[in-house]
């Protein structure tokens, strides 16, 4: 996939997430399509693709968010970097179990980095929209469940629809020391 096509795809997916999912109640809060897309690209294609998706998706979310600019881009990039490091150093194959584990790690990292950067913005005196710890914990657990489920469904669909993007068709990455 060329970079221009990738940028268009990320913009379309991000727009879908921000506009269409807003009509389905809390689904917008729980389902993070950009994060799923970035983790999947990091795992199947290249680390740089995942970072590009995270950057474009984060900037797109920052443009439409009431939070300080850079908040979502930072959270997405941290999630992709941590996911890649775990994948490179600890996982040796591309399986459904690996995808589930990486999606869980990415979701938790994304939420923690979002809370961290919002706390930093608040300490610097910037007005941010904050929520209670209970709301963040509950929404993180729901987002974890939804993201992992949707990532696995997408992986199985891609296995039949676009075998070249299926992670099970690729050879396992060699274990690095």
Lowest mean pLDDT among 28-37, 38-47, 48-57, 165-174: 165-174
pTM of the model: 0.79
**What would the pLDDT profile of 103-128 be if each residue is shown by its tens digit?**
899 999 998 888 888 888 888 877 77
Residue 175 in domain: no
CATH number of the domain bearing residue 103: 1.10.1760
Total count of domains within the chain: 1
Residue 176 in domain: no
18 neighbors 61 (Cβ within 8 angstroms):
yes
Domain that holds residue 153: 3-165
Sign of the alpha-carbon torsion through 133, 143, 73, 89: positive
Residue 171 in domain: no
């Amino acid at each position: 996939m060329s970079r221009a096509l990738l940028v268009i795809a990320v913009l379309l997916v991000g727009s879908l997430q921000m506009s269409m999912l807003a009509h389905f109640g809390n689904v917008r809060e729980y389902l993070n399509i950009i994060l799923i897309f970035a983790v999947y690209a990091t795992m199947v294609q290249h680390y740089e693709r995942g970072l590009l998706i995270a950057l474009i998706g984060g900037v797109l979310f920052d443009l439409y968010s009431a939070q300080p600019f850079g908040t979502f881009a930072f959270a997405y990039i941290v999630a992709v970097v941590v996911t890649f490091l775990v994948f490179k150093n600890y996982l040796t194959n591309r399986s459904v179990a690996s995808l589930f584990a990486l999606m869980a790690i990415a979701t938790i990292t994304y939420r923690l980095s979002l809370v961290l950067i919002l706390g930093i913005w608040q300490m610097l005196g910037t007005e941010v929209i904050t929520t209670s710890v209970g709301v963040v914990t509950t929404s993180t657990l729901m987002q974890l469940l939804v993201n992992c489920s949707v990532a696995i469904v997408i992986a199985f669909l891609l296995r039949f629809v676009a075998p070249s993007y299926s992670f099970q068709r690729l050879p396992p990455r060699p274990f690095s020391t």
